[in-house]
Structure 1
Amino acid sequence: MAVVSRLLTARALERPAAAAFVAGADGRSLTWSELASQAENWRAASRGRGLPERSRVGLVATDPLAFTAAYLGLLAAGLTAVPLDPRLTASELANSISRLRVDVVATDTPELFTTETEMWSLTDSGPIPVRLATLSARPGDGAAMRPAVLLASSGTTGAPKGIPLSEWQLMHAARRVARHHGFGPEQRGYTPLPLFHVNAQVMGLLANLVSGASLVVDRRFDVNAYWERVEQWRPTWLNTVPAILASLAAAPAPSEDLVRGIRFARSASAPLPEHTLRAFTEHTGIGVLETYGMTEAAGQITANPVEADARRIGSVGLPVGVGLSVLGPDGRPAPPGQEGMVALRGRQVVSHYLDLSANVPERARPARDASGWLLTGDLGVRDEAGFVRLAGRADDVINRGGEKIHPLEIENVLLGHPSVRSAAVVGAPHERLGQVAVAFVTAQPGADSDVLARDLRDRCERELTRYKRPTAIEVTAELPTGPTGKVLRRALRAELATAGGAR
């Protein structure tokens, strides 16, 4: 029997009527007893259809409780959950389903799919067959092709890859998350993050299951309703990303009484500018617990201590249950204080990627090097105490005539201006220097774009060495972002390349 199945049964016996998950928008809830019952319905549905173990079920749900029940039910039934973004168009979903070799779709929006798609409708009691079709070719026998959850990488740095996660990897990650953050039946979290991403699945759904805590889930982040939700449900911790923290820092502040019971706001999924952290904490009175993770490690890799006085601003914390090293140019561990490539290893780190190319046989390729390290693509530094500080993505480093520029350093300078809402710096092609830095910023409401651009140029002249200064600063309405608020730098680079670069 699957670990998830055993845990659902245990929780249903211990606290059958306790609300495990609550919909923040309308107060609907799922008790542990209801979740265990729905898991049994998923097992019955898969047996009735004759689905082999680890058949791939595409999960497309707009309702957070429907997603939660289906996700846990699929894992309990021994099927492979393939969560997909419900905001995708019908053609985008069809492409994802094909590339991920999905056998069946479970959805609360059946109108998005063609009559050729085998589909289960999500209801309050579990899945109901809607249309039946011939199953696609079965996944291969390799463990990488028969995971508990199959996710596609975000594609923020290139073509997406299939990331297969076993139940052991997911539950190991959930246990270390719950232990590190001190979760238990008396704790309640609040997450408006997308459930089709690993953060909300492991940090939210599975850590909640492991610890017996409760979790308030929302379909999306709404800055105007956020503190109302907090007042209504009184969570003890908040699951956030930097974009949420920045928005809340610019919104009306919550009352002292409202935030008194909140232990921390956890930040993940994207780099957290130091200015954003300080602005949020000063504005709300809530401390921020900065972390670092990636899908390949089933979520969390490092985290700051829960104890506020032990956290280090600007650091993503210490490794939590995963092997981590900062490797120098020679592939050996770099000494403390020296920048290098962050690398991971251990059983909880994926060993293979799946090729998501269209119209080719499915195949796995190694995710680790010959020494067993998975190279994250992130540059970082460890101090004497082991705390990790990230410098940015290796692919994002700008090479200006041989001088290396980290975009994050420039972005932190730009974000220090009170009229800047968000900022991103990328390298633009240059005939003589190879690349130069170009900045894109969005302004706070009411700011004059021309005045802001001039102020930012002056600010960069004061605070940055000449070669690091952006050659252009563009004030734009919005930055291209992914579902978790991470800036899509490749879209900005493509825009510059189309425009002919910088001269």
Structure 2
Amino acid sequence: MKIQNYITISTITLFGGMKMVEKTRPYWPAQLPAELAYLQGEKPLFAYLEQHGKTKPSATAYIFYGAEITWGALLNYVNRFSNYLAGKGVKKGSCVALYLQNCPQYIIAHFAIQKLGGIVVPLNPMFKENELAYYLEEAPIEGIIAGSEGYPQVKKAIEKTRTLAFNVTTNFEDFLPQKSEWKFPEELILPKQTFTDTDDFYEILQTELPYEKNEDVNIWNDVGLMVFTSGTTGRPKGALLTYGNALFKTAATVQANGMSDQEILMASAPLCHIAGMVMGLNTPVYTGRPCVLFTRFDPLGTVEAIEKYAVSFWYSIAPMNWAILQLPGISERNLSSLKTNLATSFGVQITKELAENWRAVTKGCALYEASYGLSETHTCDTFMPKDKIKFGSCGIPIFETTIRIIDHETGKEQPAGKQGEIVVKSPGVFKGYLNRPDATAATLKDGWVHTGDIGYLDEDGYLFFLGRVKEMIKSSGYSIFPEDVEALLNLHPAIRQSAVIGVPDPVKGEVVKAFVVLHELQKDTLTAADLIQWAKETMAAYKYPRYIEIIYQLPATPSGKVLRKLLKEE
């Protein structure tokens, strides 16, 4: 059965009430309902948390290195921190920044801000003073909640920019158990620090009374999250996302991936990153299911958590799965509770071979591409049907989502199989960029997000992502997409990871340069010349790398995304 040059689920109503949906996609899973149904109706996620806190207060919400927090305790903490924020003047539309690694304090602060109708501004805890100063100048941030280990960077940034209405610092040890079998990351065992110019998070929770009111928010119009993203061009811009964007994408992801009411979740991807936020923060709160939370990924700790807590659902980055498969004795560990593993291909591709190895070690867990998405759409624009996995693709459009492929220059829609720019329309689409009307107009056109990403839809409606317009390499008139070359390079048995950039060439305009990380046993047996010759033999003449540099590690974000721009700068 052929499809049109775009693929969608048509709807009679979009936001309110039940969605009467007509299936138009040949590969929509037969066992999956065609319409999206919200578990508690259309209301902000903090209201979901509140209902869990009232209806099952003694049930476990999060487990942080052995310390369990119930839904009742979590709601109490959120209400107390909301009271503190209200006393500092936070109200609907107020921007409050979170400069924290994964921890219970992050979750508490996130929903305490949104309970008041405020806007959460996640800032990567790896940012340094100059980066923080940029964001403080870009956004009207009124206050910041920071880990004590990172506050010196915040203070330097504030000195360069402006004074905030309030600063709060927190220590990991406040939410760690006194005794635990877990091996804590070094940053978790730093001595507790307090500062004369900040308020202490834990003390606030002990002294403030609960704030019992909820701000009346219009979930589809009021902004609850501002995520900084580069978009298609330029320095990072604040993408404005509504409370409804978050609810829709969380509900759609949960339903599309067949999550049950018995799941045990695990989260190690950064909560400050949009994908980590959906999986580690929004999903547990939406479903009311317990989540094992880590500050960052540790292979052995992940295995131990799966065994101890019978974790059944995990979102990972492909290099995480690869690292676990390399652990000595991994085939003897009991990972059989794990049933679903959504993953993202960054550096390491999710191949059929990787998935089969993972299935063997876990005694049956499915490993497949999580989704395609971007900050401007609150991510998760696609999902992979479990019974019809296509390796190399990002799956099919999720509920109420239309994806088209257009010619980047002319705007003409492309037929199935032909590449072009990916454009997306759904209830997850952002409202625009903060104070950037020109950038908003260039990206958001008639409700469509022009992603700047290149890809194609096959005849079954599966999306294949090839790269970004701005990262596209032009060599002798040919368009070369880095991800395409990287996927080919990674087929070499000695290559573990690769990243590709374009470098100037006086004749061709640009040629391909690749940076590769080799498997440990291959480091002394291959040279760059060997790999170039192999690539020449296995890739089109215009595409193969003219230069290859063997390096120890690729620069990447905390979520695992390779930073090609750093390679280009070097």
Band of TM-score, shorter chain: 0.7 to 0.9
CA displacement at 1:425 relative to structure 2: 1.3
**Once structures 1 and 2 are overlaid, which stretch shifts more, 328-337 or 392-401?**
328-337
Percent identity of equivalent pairs: 25
- Residue matched to 2:367: 288
- DSSP-derived class of the 1:326 partner: strand
The match for 2:450 among 367, 375, 378 is 375
CA 1:367/1:145 → structure 2, altered by over 3 Å: closer, same or farther? farther
CA displacement at 1:46 relative to structure 2: 2.7
CA distance in structure 1 between the aligned counterparts of 2:530 and 2:340, rounded to whole angstroms: 34
Report the TM-score when normalising by structure 2. Answer: 0.76
Paired residues of 2:347 and 2:499 also in contact (CA < 8 A): no
- Residue matched to 1:466: 541
CA distance in structure 2 between the aligned counterparts of 1:271 and 1:87, rounded to whole angstroms: 20
CA distance in structure 2 between the aligned counterparts of 1:35 and 1:304, rounded to whole angstroms: 33
Paired residues of 1:355 and 1:364 also in contact (CA < 8 A): no
5+ residue gaps, structure 2, are 1-41, 176-200, 206-218
Q: Deviation per CA, 1:161-203: give whole Å up to 9, x if none.
A: 1111110111111111111122343101212111111112122
CA distance in structure 1 between the aligned counterparts of 2:565 and 2:318, rounded to whole angstroms: 19
1:83-94 pair list within 5 angstroms: 83-94=122-133
The match for 1:202 among 275, 278, 281 is 278
The match for 2:313 among 234, 237, 257 is 237
Amino acid at match of 1:312: K
Paired residues of 2:443 and 2:451 also in contact (CA < 8 A): no
- DSSP-derived class of the 2:520 partner: coil
- Residue matched to 1:134: none
**Once structures 1 and 2 are overlaid, which stretch shifts more, 172-181 or 61-70?**
61-70
The match for 2:403 among 324, 342, 362 is 324
CA distance in structure 2 between the aligned counterparts of 1:488 and 1:327, rounded to whole angstroms: 26
- Residue matched to 1:27: 66
- Residue matched to 2:434: 354
- DSSP-derived class of the 1:451 partner: coil
Q: Deviation per CA, 1:415-442: give whole Å up to 9, x if none.
A: 1223222101111100111011111101
Paired residues of 2:502 and 2:510 also in contact (CA < 8 A): yes
CA 1:386/1:184 → structure 2, altered by over 3 Å: closer, same or farther? same
The match for 1:8 among 34, 49, 54 is 49
CA distance in structure 1 between the aligned counterparts of 2:129 and 2:417, rounded to whole angstroms: 49
CA distance in structure 2 between the aligned counterparts of 1:105 and 1:442, rounded to whole angstroms: 38
The match for 2:134 among 95, 98, 103 is 95
The match for 1:185 among 261, 275, 282 is 261
CA displacement at 1:14 relative to structure 2: 2.4
The match for 1:215 among 291, 311, 317 is 291
* 2:484 is aligned with 1:443: no
1:135-150 pair list within 5 angstroms: 147-150=223-226
CA 1:415/1:63 → structure 2, altered by over 3 Å: closer, same or farther? closer
The match for 1:337 among 417, 441, 445 is 417
CA distance in structure 2 between the aligned counterparts of 1:367 and 1:184, rounded to whole angstroms: 40
* 2:173 is aligned with 1:173: no
CA displacement at 1:224 relative to structure 2: 3.8
CA displacement at 1:489 relative to structure 2: 1.3
CA displacement at 1:158 relative to structure 2: 4.2
CA 1:370/1:218 → structure 2, altered by over 3 Å: closer, same or farther? closer
Paired residues of 1:318 and 1:388 also in contact (CA < 8 A): yes
Paired residues of 1:236 and 1:263 also in contact (CA < 8 A): yes
CA 1:11/1:377 → structure 2, altered by over 3 Å: closer, same or farther? same
CA displacement at 1:2 relative to structure 2: 6.5
Paired residues of 1:89 and 1:112 also in contact (CA < 8 A): yes
CA distance in structure 2 between the aligned counterparts of 1:363 and 1:455, rounded to whole angstroms: 47
Paired residues of 2:146 and 2:168 also in contact (CA < 8 A): yes
CA distance in structure 1 between the aligned counterparts of 2:391 and 2:46, rounded to whole angstroms: 39
The match for 2:167 among 103, 112, 119 is 119
Paired residues of 1:156 and 1:482 also in contact (CA < 8 A): no
CA displacement at 1:385 relative to structure 2: 1.8
CA displacement at 1:364 relative to structure 2: 7.8
- Residue matched to 1:255: 331
Q: Deviation per CA, 1:215-238: give whole Å up to 9, x if none.
A: 111111123433122222221021
CA 1:174/1:338 → structure 2, altered by over 3 Å: closer, same or farther? same
Q: How many residues align?
A: 474
CA 1:454/1:264 → structure 2, altered by over 3 Å: closer, same or farther? farther
Paired residues of 2:241 and 2:431 also in contact (CA < 8 A): no
Paired residues of 1:381 and 1:389 also in contact (CA < 8 A): yes
The match for 1:46 among 80, 85, 90 is 85
5+ residue gaps, structure 1, are 130-142, 357-361, 496-503
Amino acid at match of 1:396: E
Q: Deviation per CA, 1:372-392: give whole Å up to 9, x if none.
A: 321111111112221111122
CA distance in structure 1 between the aligned counterparts of 2:539 and 2:327, rounded to whole angstroms: 30
Between the two structures, name the one with larger relative contact order (CA 8 Å, sep ≥ 6): 2
CA distance in structure 2 between the aligned counterparts of 1:451 and 1:422, rounded to whole angstroms: 15
Paired residues of 1:296 and 1:350 also in contact (CA < 8 A): yes
- Residue matched to 2:479: 404
- Residue matched to 1:265: 341
Paired residues of 1:423 and 1:439 also in contact (CA < 8 A): yes
- Residue matched to 1:133: none
Q: Deviation per CA, 1:270-313: give whole Å up to 9, x if none.
A: 476254x52353255342221211111112111101x3x31111
CA displacement at 1:332 relative to structure 2: 3.1
- DSSP-derived class of the 2:69 partner: strand
CA 1:414/1:167 → structure 2, altered by over 3 Å: closer, same or farther? same
